């Protein structure tokens, strides 16, 4: 069952008004808040963040990755990471348009975290509101899919174990009038389309089906960029956020890509 991702890039997921056009000459600065599926590649984690920063930002656009291995919406605040992100919004907002991507869920969902879906939702809402109050633009990001497959139907399909967190993230965006990108749906559809054997080539180490190696970071960082470009089309037209054309075609057609 091959699916096409084209619909993900055409259908509107956000009914927000267009961002202010008079700011278009100012490049964006992306501050990435999240857990290990956003974080820099290390022995303990690695997500899409560095691939996004390294390979999709042009014309003076910049980014910093504050993804923290093991983080929840609670620990990211209590451990001081969130205060750092907000201070960076203040620091960069005069010379850049400060965007904060906010992606959690992989650790919040663990029973040991003792964070209900309702708390997770309100924690995301509070993050989004605080970014706006600091003068930045929040983008809520539904959590990157894990690469665990259920083969029982004969067609390997990703186990959608972050479905509740996906819906909660979209609800948090709805409730606070915040932009969101549906990375969970887009990554699930891409992984279903390419299948497990190719999907595992993006594993940080062979048996790590959650974290990404450098190539996986560039593929899913490109997917994040494509989704952001769809909602903030001036970032694309002004040449700030660009996805490698071959990768973009592969993502749209659900075909395997190796950087």
Ligand X SMILES: *[C@@H]1O[C@H](CO)[C@@H](O)[C@H](O)[C@H]1NC(C)=O
Q: Is 106 exposed, middle or buried (0-12, 13-18, 19+ CB in 10 A)?
A: buried
Residue 157 near ligand X by CB under 6 A = no
Query: Quick one: which segment of 17-25, 30-38, 86-94, 239-247 binds ligand X (CB under 6 A)?
Result: 239-247
The Cα 125–Cα 241 span in angstroms is: 26
Instruction: Choose, by CB under 6 A, the member of 14, 103, 123, 217 that binds ligand X.
Output: 217
CB of 19 to ligand X, least distance (A): 19
Instruction: Choose, by CB under 6 A, the member of 64, 113, 157, 167 that binds ligand X.
Output: 167
DSSP string spanning 22-49?
GGTTSPEEEEEEESTTTSPPBTTB--SH
CA neighbours closer than 13 Å in the CB half-sphere of residue 116 = 3
CB of 259 to ligand X, least distance (A): 4
Dihedral pair phi/psi, residue 82, rounded to 5°: -65, -40
CB of 22 to ligand X, least distance (A): 28
Residue in the structure block whose two tokens are 């001036």 = 234
Report 53-112 residues binding ligand X (CB under 6 A). Answer: 54
CB of 93 to ligand X, least distance (A): 25
Tokens matching residue 161? 């174990």
> Which one, of 228, 230, 242, 235, lies nearest residue 28 by Cα?
235
Which of 24, 213 has the CB closer to ligand X? 213
> Which one, of 61, 64, 60, 57, lies nearest residue 39 by Cα?
64
Tokens matching residue 238? 């002004």
Residue 120 near ligand X by CB under 6 A = no
Q: Are 163 and 157 in contact (CB under 8 A)?
A: no
Tokens matching residue 160? 């959608």
Residue 214 near ligand X by CB under 6 A = yes
CB of 155 to ligand X, least distance (A): 10
Residue 244 near ligand X by CB under 6 A = yes
Instruction: Choose, by CB under 6 A, the member of 27, 28, 45, 156 that binds ligand X.
Output: 156
- Give the footprint of ligand X on this chain (CB under 6 A): 41, 50-51, 54, 114, 149, 151, 156, 167, 170-171, 174, 196-197, 214, 217-218, 244-246, 259
């Amino acid at each position: 069952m091959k699916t096409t991702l084209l619909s993900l890039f055409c259908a509107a997921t956000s009914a927000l008004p267009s961002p202010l056009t008079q700011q278009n000459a100012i490049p964006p600065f992306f501050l990435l808040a999240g857990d290990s599926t956003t974080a820099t590649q290390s022995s303990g984690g690695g997500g899409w963040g560095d691939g996004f920063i390294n390979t999709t930002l042009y014309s003076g656009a910049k980014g910093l990755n504050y993804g923290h291995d093991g983080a929840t919406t609670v620990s990211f605040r209590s451990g001081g990471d969130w205060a750092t992100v907000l201070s960076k919004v203040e620091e960069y907002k005069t010379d850049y348009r400060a965007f904060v991507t906010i992606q959690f869920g992989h650790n919040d969902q663990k029973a040991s975290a003792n964070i209900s879906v309702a708390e997770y939702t309100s924690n995301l809402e509070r993050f989004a509101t605080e970014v706006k109050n600091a003068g930045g633009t929040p983008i809520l990001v539904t959590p990157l899919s894990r690469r665990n497959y259920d083969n029982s139907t004969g067609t390997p399909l990703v186990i959608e174990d972050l479905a509740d967190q996906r819906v909660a993230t979209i609800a948090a965006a709805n409730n606070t009038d915040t932009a969101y990108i549906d990375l969970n749906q887009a990554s699930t559809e891409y992984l279903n389309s390419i299948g497990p054997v190719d999907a595992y080539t993006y594993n940080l180490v062979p048996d790590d089906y959650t974290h990404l190696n450098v190539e996986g970071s560039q593929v899913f960082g490109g997917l994040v960029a494509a989704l952001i470009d769809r909602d903030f089309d001036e970032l694309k037209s002004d040449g700030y956020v660009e996805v490698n054309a071959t990768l973009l075609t592969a993502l749209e057609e659900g075909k395997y890509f190796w950087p």
